Amino acid sequence: MIQVTAIFALGINHKTAPVALREQVAFAPEQLPEALRELTTLTSISDAVILSTCNRTELYFNGSASQAEQVIAWLAQFHAVDGQELQPHLYLHQDNAATEHLMQVAAGLDSLVLGEPQIFGQVKQAYNQARSAGTVNPQFERLFQKTFAVAKQVRTETDIGANAVSVAFAAVSLAKQIFGNLAKVRVLLIGAGETIELVAKHLQEQGAGQLTVANRTYERAVHLAEQFSASAITLAQVPVMLADADIVISSTASTLPIVGKGMVEQALKQRKHKPMFLVDLAVPRDIEQQVAELEDAYLYTVDDLQSIVAQNLNNRQQAAEQAKQMIALGAAEFAQWLTLQGSVDWLRDYRQRCEQVRSELLAKAANQLAAGQDAEKVLAEFSTKLSNRLMHSPTKAIRQLVQDDELNKQTLINTLLDL
């Protein structure tokens, strides 16, 4: 009997489990080589790739249903987590569903932020680590190469990652549109909380190199500035530094405006009315609304950006529908390739089994001839037994096929091989 194997995707992510549990089953990069070897050795699965990020831990493998249960048990054991606690938060996809899931993950359709691009690189890294560990065989080689091709197609042929879907990213994208190259643009960031940190990260990714962080607590400004090779000042120094800033992005917890119309007006005079781009991400506002009345000041509020984000998110969701169609087609093409590979394998096995039967009966006939038996009778017996043995299994399979419209393909194959 041939063991029925399948492709599985086992995982836990931000949709199914809280961060506290996700942390417990996460794999550190240095753990992966040994974890992959241990997983394949203890469960005897033929392929394995482990993807572990802050939002998900997923194991892709090739094996049987019983081996899938062993992989779940191994995951709990490896991380010393109670299996009963872990089980309700796991999902397990098989065959085409597993392929589609992998492709959706790589394309950013299953991410916390729809369409985020980092996950593609993370999937590629997981695949490369598994290859280095020797746990990627030809079938998974084909699966992941097809996945990368589909994910690239989604990126290039849809708008899944084209538009900002966070106010921090929207602010930076807007600045990029206005100034183009941000390398020589001077940016003043007011605040040192999570939002400003995210803004600084996006600015750095877009090539901005001249950042200044202003905060009420100078030590916090220094701490954030050090992460991005920026300068640090206090809020008291903002009026003096404002004239040097081409871009001002503010997000503090202040109950009163920090940047007033008069302050900006004075800064613009010092700048000889060179335009200034200001973004107020705070609620309540950090920048007085009247600043927008100044001719060379371009002020955007969090409400302005929220409307951009809402429209962009809607655009991404429409793109996601296009992407799903591409993924369904990609998964179907891989399934077709898999079917063809399976057919080649069992046809080879069938031919080998027929050859074994021929060799077995030929050896028996040769012994009979050597013992002096009548050659004509020996040949007649040989031909009769050979044809009967070769016809028995196909005849049995055809009868089953006629009697049962829902006959399992694997049952049919095993019947044909039972010569």
DSSP state at residue 82: -
Nearest to 210 by CA among 159, 246, 179: 246
9 forms bridges with which residues in the sheet? 60, 93
- Residue 346 CA: distances (Å) to CA of 3, 52, 274, 392, 416: 12, 35, 75, 17, 9
> What is the 3-state composition of the chain as percent helix, strand, coil, each rounded to the nearest 5?
60, 15, 25
DSSP string for residues in 181-230 = --TT-EEEEE--SHHHHHHHHHHHHTT--EEEEEESSHHHHHHHHHHTT-
Residues 312/163, Cβ–Cβ less than 8 Å: yes
At 167, which amino acid appears? V
Residue 396: CB atoms within 10 A of its CB come to 14
Q: Are strands 91-94 and 6-13 parallel, antiparallel or unpaired?
A: antiparallel
Q: Which residues contact 12 (CB under 8 A, 6 or more apart)?
A: 21, 22, 25, 56, 57, 58, 86, 89, 90, 91
Q: Catalytic residue numbers?
A: 54
Radius of gyration of the chain (CA): 32
Q: Which residues contact 43 (CB under 8 A, 6 or more apart)?
A: 61, 63, 67, 70, 71, 74
What are φ and ψ of residue 190, in 5° steps?
A: -105, 115
Q: Which residues contact 303 (CB under 8 A, 6 or more apart)?
A: none
Between CA 25 and CA 11 the distance in angstroms is 10
